[in-house]
Amino acid sequence: MGRKIRVRSLVIGGLFTLLFLAMTMKLYWVQVVTGAELLDKAEVSWSKQKVLQPIRGSILDRNNKILAQDGESFTVAVNPLLIDKYKQQSEVVGMLAPLLNMNTPDGLSKLNDRVTSKREDGRYKDQVEIRNEGWKIDKSIADEINKQIESLGLKGSVTLLEERKRYYPTNQLASHILGYVDKENQARTGLELVYDEFLKGTPGEISYEKDRLGYQLPEGQATVTVPENGSHVKTTIDRQIQHYIEEALEKMNEQFHPKGAMVIAADPNTMEILGMSSLPSYNPNTYWDFADQGDFKNHNIASQYEPGSTFKIVTLAAAVDQGIFKPEETYKSGSIRVPGATIRDHNNGKGWGEITYLEGLKRSSNVAFVKLGYDGLGKDKLHDYIEKFGFGTTTSIDLQGEIKGNIKFHYPSEVATATFGQGVAVTAIQQVAAISAIANGGKLMRPYLMKEIIDPVTNKVIKMTEPEVIRQVISEDAAKQVSGYLEQVVSDQEIGTGRRVFIDGYRIAGKTGTAQKFIDGQYAESKWVVSFIGYAPADNPQIVLSVIIDDPDIGSDSNRSSEVSAPVFKEIMGKSLRYLNVPKENTSTGVTQLLDDSGVLMPDLKGVSTSEAKDLLDRIGIDYDLIGKGQKVLQQQPMAGTRMGLEQKGYVLTAPPKGLSFPDVTGRSMRDVVEVCSVYEVSCTLLGEGYATAQKSIGTTSSQSLEIKFEPYKLKAAEQDHVAIKENEDE
């Protein structure tokens, strides 16, 4: 019996000994071998980290007006656990569907899936975000959702998570320049991408100890790393000139429905880009609605085309620089034979008989330029000058996607056609840089968009772009001569092909262009690229402007090309020169009595024909709306002799106002709206001040009566604090 007890004691003691040894070894393993790793895992379980996103820097125009900025947004999240507990599925879906544009069969199905979402173990989830429809929504929608949450008693079942997103307050204005940032905060195109390193800033972080429900422990430690906000990028763009460009393109697009269009405005003395637009366009605020990649493509830098007659400027400049352009020397127009081809003038080869080379330039004679470029310069010198002007290589503008074009030619016929812009491929930005070299005295310069990068804390400039001369292409004297010749292309109102862009009081130098499109190995009969490129004032250029329209709806009649590009050029140039306060000169067209030192006076139009009124207003540079389809002017606003302000419009009525639909005046100034109401003989109640934001019909009488609301244009206080840019560093 005693022996059994001893054996039992030994067994039990041995087991306890083994258990103790195992526990000791486990403790050693936990504390020594894997201690650091387990500590890290423990810290993860009781601590929480949150990334603090920096505020992305703003993109500004040259006058510190905001083009892109960060702002608050919200993401909708639902709690399926609470929704199921309180049986709120129908209320939640019914409330969110219309506000998030999900009131479709697919949208409702998706929303129902979200509000009934379960984990793998079958339990309902406690938070599900409504993506993409409810992701980073605007504050206006978020406010409405909050109201519905309160009224329907859905607090906790539906929540709004605070976020930030990129806003473009001017919508599609300058979209191809700015590019966009997606909802993942990734820069995709434009300046947003090129200067992303400066704009994006550096994220911060907050770490704190939490309980099992995720709430911060009162006695727990918290560590904060402050984020560094992104720098601001101040551009060379002038928002007002950009507006002129896009407004003119919109009018042209409504009339001629082209496949595409390109416009660039620049300062030829620095090559700062003042405005740039491309059609088709897009709104970066809703970039996902523009699935076609063509909408995102900036054709000014990423597409090449045959320039046609605007390229004759290069041949002319080379000939003048070489001393072989004799303006009064004559030649036989019509056609000319070169090995492999017969070159004809654009009037079906009829020509204009024996004419001077200056007249050949004014009439845009192909034969004149073949004789200058092919016979006079020769292949090698012509190619050399083309390269000097920057064709065949990129301009190095600070945008991604620029291509270099193609200026290769080998055979005699190719050399001959290259003299007038056929058979070579160029980009719009190359054309602008080249003609700017003539406008500024012969210097080819690098175009650029970034003017300054500004520190968001100190408002000090940390980086800036200086004008950069690449090379002297032609002599200063030759450049002046070319400017004089190009001015005559516009000023000669009888034979000048550029006469449609003439603006009384301003000396404009420029050249038209009409090129057949090369499609499937041959030139299409009714597909054209029409253009006008020029600068003003001719003797002291302040702005160079290129307008290129791809395949407008003008049929096979190339003579209509000037109806497309010239009005666009004229409208943008006229408004821009007045906006820049460029003084007018007496150009002797019979309307100089309407000009004085402080502006333009509205002429007396009553009783004159509609065509005469349009021609007169175009020549003196007054922006106007033509109302009605009559043949004579019945009424005008403002009255004759009124001095027109820079942004003021004239209104020309050619039909009785009764029965005419009142136009949409949102976005117009109060002065403009008052004049529109007067012209339409409508009783208008004006509420507020600034610019029209809404209009609606009021009253029950037969006479038309409107209520129009106005609001001043101003930034929110938070936005002003965020931008924090000084108008003047000396203030």
Residues catalogued as catalytic: 309
Please enumerate in sequence order all residues whose Cβ is within 8 A of that of 112, keeping only pairs 6 or more positions apart, or say none. 89, 93
Q: Which two tokens stand for residue 206?
A: 């907050």
In this structure, which amino acid lies at residue 206? I
Q: Which residues pair with 644 in a beta bridge?
A: 600
- CA 668 to CA 624: how far, in whole Å? 13
Q: Which two tokens stand for residue 323?
A: 């001393």
- Sign, CA torsion 51/454/174/513: negative
Q: Which two tokens stand for residue 509?
A: 């130098």
The torsion defined by the Cα of 373, 379, 385 and 388, in degrees rounded to 10, comes to 160
Long-range contact set of residues 283-291: C-beta below 8 Å, sequence gap at least 24: 283/168, 283/171, 283/172, 283/175, 284/68, 284/166, 284/168, 284/172, 284/175, 284/178, 284/179, 284/180, 285/167, 285/168, 285/171, 287/180, 287/182, 287/188, 288/132
Beta strands in 398-502 (DSSP E): 443-445, 450-454, 461-464, 469-472
CB atoms within 10 A of CB 461: 14
- CA 513 to CA 562: how far, in whole Å? 9
Q: Which residue, 313, 353, 316, 346, is CA-closest to 332?
A: 353
Q: Which residue, 438, 445, 434, is CA-closest to 484?
A: 438
Q: Helix, strand or coil for residue 516?
A: strand
- CA 50 to CA 592: how far, in whole Å? 68
Instruction: Write the DSSP string, 353-392.
Output: SEEEHHHHHHHT-HHHHHIIIIIIIHHHHHHHHHHHTTTT
Residues in the chain: 731
Q: Are 492 and 510 in contact (CB under 8 A)?
A: no
CB atoms within 10 A of CB 413: 17
Instruction: Write the DSSP string, 286-324.
Output: GGGG--SHHHH--HHHH--B--GGGGHHHHHHHHHHTT-
- CA 239 to CA 574: how far, in whole Å? 16
Q: Are 481 and 519 in contact (CB under 8 A)?
A: no
